[in-house]
């Protein structure tokens, strides 16, 4: 008997726009919680993140996504299109109506989560509450530039310190993310733990590896014997796509590269298009299943620029990876058992070329990457993480009762 089948689960995302049917952590964890539990929903704002990065607003509404998860959007805008600073009352109303037994809060940057504390005190004292943060030193603005920022930082620190009384655990995606939470957000260190970015195991078709690889290459007119590098994401100067293209052009003729994703800047897109040759193929934006198939088709993933959750998905698909050094990546679940190469922070074309040639010429990189995906890396599947989060925090709750 599934011990979780009678649990109501709510994921809460209030600090940023939400994309329906994305491959982001909050969506994937909710997907697999919905397989395990009685009732699962995502409570979020009426800011809709579209593919390509555009943000639109919608009215308040409740609907179901393709995974059967209920989505509840609440309006956080006033008539003048100025975002309301406090809408905890709306959050509390939804909590009372849905009555979750397990809450996962995504992001620790807002005071509207006060509603969770009130719900836990007044409605369901036994509710388990956890939170997570993806903020690292790479994407978090630590510098206080004005008095308003200072006041908000002080309020946020007091608020999060108070909320830690209600959190079972607060997860960061890397040790660096935990340091940012503790140093800048008022999170109590003893409440913290690591929850690494993961992948959706159902979308990796290992069972038809040879067929996927052959059909994708045929579709893109890439020789079956070619060595293929894959690169993608939200393409801007930070991703170092142009430098990668220039590097690949000088490599042996048997090396091809496929680039997927959307360019954030038209001029940068023109530069990349102008620089490429017939061995460098741009395919535009892809659905998540297509991205995983692209990884299965490829022999190496190259992400020599700013961090992306696409990197974990490439590792999960069993291909070697090249990344560049970033302080916030220390302790991240990417380079394990020599499955890839990390470039220096200030890498140049010669260093990138050397890294590619090293993996290209050494079949052991592929073998190690494949073994990693079939074994140790499975713990980072969102399916396994979804189950772990509930059972682990149920265990913590029981241990606290014994004390």
What does the pLDDT look like over 233-263, one tens digit per residue?
999 999 999 999 999 999 999 999 999 999 9
Question: Which structure tokens are listed for 37?
Answer: 């539990």
| Mean pLDDT, contiguous 10-residue spans, the chain (403 residues) | 82 91 91 93 92 83 95 84 76 96 92 94 96 87 75 89 95 95 93 97 96 97 97 94 95 97 91 94 94 98 95 98 94 96 95 97 98 97 96 87 66
Quote the pLDDT of residue 1. Answer: 45
**CB of 313 within 8 A of CB of 233?**
no
pLDDT in tens, 24-46: 899 999 999 999 998 999 999 99
- State how far Cα 177 lies from the chain centre: 13
């Amino acid at each position: 008997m599934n011990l979780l089948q009678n649990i109501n689960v709510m994921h809460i995302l209030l600090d940023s726009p939400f994309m329906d049917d994305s491959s982001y952590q909050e969506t994937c964890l909710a997907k697999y919680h919905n397989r395990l539990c009685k009732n699962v929903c995502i409570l979020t704002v009426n800011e809709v993140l579209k593919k390509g990065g555009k943000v639109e607003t919608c009215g308040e509404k409740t609907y179901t996504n393709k995974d059967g998860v209920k989505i509840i959007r609440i309006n956080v805008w006033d008539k003048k299109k100025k975002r309301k600073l406090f809408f905890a009352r709306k959050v509390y109303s939804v909590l009372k109506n849905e009555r979750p037994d397990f809450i996962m809060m995504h992001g620790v940057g807002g005071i509207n989560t006060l509603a969770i504390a009130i719900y836990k005190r007044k409605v369901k004292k036994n509710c388990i509450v956890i939170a997570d943060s993806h903020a690292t030193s790479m994407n978090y603005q630590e510098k206080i530039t004005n008095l308003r920022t200072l006041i908000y930082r002080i309020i946020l620190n007091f608020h999060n310190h108070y909320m830690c009384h209600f959190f079972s655990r607060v997860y960061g995606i890397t040790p660096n993310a935990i340091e940012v939470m503790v140093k800048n957000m008022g999170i109590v260190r003893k409440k913290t733990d690591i929850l690494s970015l993961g992948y959706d195991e159902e979308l990796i078709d290992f069972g038809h590896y040879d067929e996927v690889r052959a059909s994708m290459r045929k579709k893109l007119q890439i020789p079956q014997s070619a060595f293929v590098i894959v690169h993608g994401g939200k393409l801007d100067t930070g991703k170092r796509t142009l430098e990668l293209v220039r590097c690949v052009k000088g490599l042996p003729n048997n090396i091809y590269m496929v680039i997927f994703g959307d360019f954030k800047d038209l001029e940068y897109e023109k530069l990349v298009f102008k620089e490429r040759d017939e061995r460098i193929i741009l395919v535009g934006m892809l659905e998540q299943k297509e991205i995983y198939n692209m990884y299965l088709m490829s022999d190496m993933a190259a992400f020599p620029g700013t961090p992306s959750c696409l990197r974990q998905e490439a590792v999960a698909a069993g291909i070697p990876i090249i990344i560049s050094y970033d302080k916030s990546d220390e302790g991240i679940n990417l380079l394990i058992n020599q499955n890839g190469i990390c470039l220096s922070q200030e890498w140049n074309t010669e260093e990138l070329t050397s890294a590619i040639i090293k993996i290209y010429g050494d079949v052991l990189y592929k073998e190690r990457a494949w073994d990693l995906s079939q074994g140790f890396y499975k713990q980072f599947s969102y399916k396994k993480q979804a189950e772990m989060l509930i059972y682990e925090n149920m265990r913590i709750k029981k241990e606290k009762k014994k004390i």
